[in-house]
Amino acid sequence: MCLSTRLVTWAIVSTDDRRRMSSDKAEYKRQETELDELYQEIILDHYRNPRHKGRLSAPTASEEGYNPLCGDEIILDVEVTDGVVSDIAQRGSGCSISQSSASMMTEVIVGEPIADVKGLIASFTAMMRGSDDDLEELGDLEAMAGVRKFPVRVKCATLAWHTLSQALEKAKSS
Amino acid sequence: MTTSERIGALDVARIRRDFPILDRKVYGQPLVYFDNAATSQKPRQVIEALTHYYETSNANIHRAVHLLGEEATAEYEGVREKVSRFINAPSPECIVFTRNTSESINLVAYAWGRANVSAGDEIVVTVMEHHSNFVPWQQLAQETGAKLVVIGVKEDQTLDLDDGLSSYLSERTKIVAITHANNTVGTINPVKELAAEAHRAGALVLVDAAQSVPHMPVDVQDLDCDFLAFSAHKMLGPTGVGVLYARRELLAEMPPFLTGGEMISKVTIDETTWNGIPAKFEAGTPNIADVVAFGAAIDYLSDLGMQNVREHEKEITEYALRRLKQLESITIYGPEDIDVHGGVISFNYPGVHPHDVGTIVDRQGVAIRSGHGCNQPLMRSLDISGVARASFYVYNTAAEVDVFIDALGDVGDRFNG
């Protein structure tokens, strides 16, 4: 291919087009900040070093959560002893948000009574729907609030929690 | 150098002015639209054709005796002729309008398949088929007891044909259904050679041309395929219009797919005789307005010249591949040889999910696709859950590739920085 042909795609931008193609610097900054809030260090840390990864040898209940749109997958093993979530393991694959949300969730619910865990599920899903009422109760999980600015990713953040809710239902009936 | 000077395969500056959507901003940035394999943007000529039809000649087609009905019929049938010429079909009778590529393939799998495939027969597909050319055949095989034979891919995601297509064929092979150009890794398959080999074995050939007709010259008589399917919306046309090309004899023999209005010759309480082809396969009021607007899309592409379209995409794809390869530790899928690689590039960052890649570049105005791309069997064969994909069209520029590459730099910074 000759050099003049190579140049075509660079040479085609007219003054009109340049004006049209100008970028909004303030908006760019704002988007960068939103991305910073989405990909916080704590979230990336849980993504890279997932907690409670693996499986339990004798779970009270197991549940699989799947998001067919993105292919995110979470499998939870839950052990319930005397009304308390005594152990949990999670495995699966997916984006940083779905995987870190699962990892963070396992850290906060081990050792908690089921009633409290259910309250936490409600608070977390309320936060993801936009509520700021229970932020204090959620502690580190508040980091996930940044996902709310990315509506298509909210379901990634809630996948583990919906799966947990179903696993606890199963555990109750088993 | 003036900007109107035509230097390369396409006058992209002029083309860009025809696409109103390219004026909009996304998160404050100029839109860089690299999701063309999913659907293309529409030039104002197409949008105006749609409005013009509704404002001047809207009526139902085929049986009206009034002027508007006559005009609407002429416009609708005129586009059938345009489509026929565009892919060099022997006659407009060989062109059936459907809703999309999936429906075109389903039409064949149901109408031809249920009449011609039975237990013990074989259907050959490839692992790189879009679900639209995989699931209908898998279902037909399961329903009839036929065997689904799947051609695999080699390391560079070209078809594994080292032992020839014949190694996948038997005297029971009824049809070979194969994609012309893959929608995620971009492989262009040698469908002409494969069709010849399949025909020697007595099998028919269906070509999924959803990713080829919009991007390169396609001549159905040269390919010598029996069926070919594609969609208007991937080639500057409106959504809701698909095309099925089929050889005349096959259409004449095949039973109808959907029954009802328009597709009949005579209906009595006891029986119905079918209309001639292609009307037999177009039951009910079709998507008249969008077919008419599709005609404007074909005119637009014909004016550009499909060989020029292909050259332009080759140039952009080569440039994008070269820039992507400079990024650290990125995995790029698809064949190295640009002659068998369409305007689609799939890639992955190690340790970064494609959805995260998609989100980060989106906030910088760059629209790409992330996920399995309706290619789950292929993704499984590559042992990945998905890819990030950039796909190009006539209005894309190297300057946009630069914006995209800069945006990707942010992915590396955030995840590996």
**Inside any domain, residue B298:** yes
* Structure tokens, B87: 């892919």
Q: Which CATH class is domain A41-173?
A: alpha beta
The pLDDT-based confidence of A16 (bands split at 50, 70, 90) is: low
Going by C-alpha positions, the residue among B239, B201, B236 that lies closest to residue B215 is B236
Domain hosting residue B339, numbered range: 12-42+305-416
**Inside any domain, residue B22:** yes
**Inside any domain, residue B67:** yes
DSSP letters for A60-95: SEEEEEEETTTTEEEEEEEEEETTEEEEEEEEEE--
- Residues 6 or more apart whose CB falls under 8 angstroms from that of B246 comprise B94, B96, B108, B226, B227, B228, B254
Query: With contacts defined as CB-CB under 8 Å, which chain A residues touch B351?
Result: 48
Q: Could you read off the pLDDT tens digit of each residue along chain B, which spans 417 residues?
A: 333 334 468 999 999 999 999 999 999 999 999 999 999 999 999 999 999 999 999 999 998 899 999 999 999 999 999 999 999 999 999 999 999 999 999 999 999 999 999 999 999 999 999 999 999 999 999 999 999 999 999 999 999 999 999 999 999 999 999 999 999 999 999 999 999 999 999 999 999 999 999 999 999 999 999 999 999 999 999 999 999 999 999 999 999 999 998 899 999 999 999 999 999 999 999 999 999 999 999 999 999 999 999 999 999 999 999 999 999 889 999 999 999 999 999 999 988 999 999 999 999 999 999 988 899 999 999 988 899 999 999 999 999 999 999 999 999 899 986
**Inside any domain, residue B357:** yes
CATH number for position B410: 3.90.1150.10
**Inside any domain, residue B4:** no
For residue B107, give how far its alpha carbon lies from the nearest alpha carbon of chain A (Å): 26
- Residues 6 or more apart whose CB falls under 8 angstroms from that of B321 comprise B332, B338, B345
- Residues 6 or more apart whose CB falls under 8 angstroms from that of A58 comprise A79
Where do the structural domains in chain A lie, given as residue ranges? Answer: 41-173
Going by C-alpha positions, the residue among B344, B342, B347 that lies closest to residue B358 is B347
Q: How far is CA A35 from CA A148, A149, B349, B371, B414, in A?
A: 11, 9, 18, 20, 9
pLDDT per position as a tens digit, B124-168: 999 999 999 999 999 999 999 999 999 999 999 999 999 999 999
For residue B360, give how far its alpha carbon lies from the nearest alpha carbon of chain A (Å): 7
Q: What is the pLDDT of residue B8?
A: 67
* Cβ distance of A20 and B353 shorter than 8 Å: no
CA torsion angle B70 B76 B77 B82 (round to 10):
140
pLDDT per position as a tens digit, A66-89: 988 778 999 999 999 999 999 999
**Inside any domain, residue B325:** yes
* Cβ distance of A20 and B9 shorter than 8 Å: no
**Inside any domain, residue B260:** yes
Q: Are A103 and A47 in contact (CB under 8 A)?
A: yes
Going by C-alpha positions, the residue among B182, B187, B131 that lies closest to residue B156 is B187
Q: Are A70 and B355 in contact (CB under 8 A)?
A: yes
* Structure tokens, B21: 């959507």
**Inside any domain, residue B36:** yes
Q: What is the pLDDT of residue A14?
A: 52
- Residues 6 or more apart whose CB falls under 8 angstroms from that of B78 comprise B295
Instruction: Count the residues in chain A.
Output: 174
Structure ipTM: 0.86
Within this chain, do residues B202 and B63 fall inside the same structural domain, yes or no? Answer: yes
* DSSP, res B255: P
CB pairs under 8 A between A and B: 113
Q: What is the pLDDT of residue A2?
A: 40
Q: Which amino acid is at A75?
A: I
Please determine, for residue A19, whether its predicted confidence score (pLDDT) is greater than 90. no
Considering its fold, how many domains does chain B have in total? 2
* Cβ distance of A9 and B415 shorter than 8 Å: no
CATH number for position B160: 3.40.640.10
Within this chain, do residues B350 and B315 fall inside the same structural domain, yes or no? Answer: yes
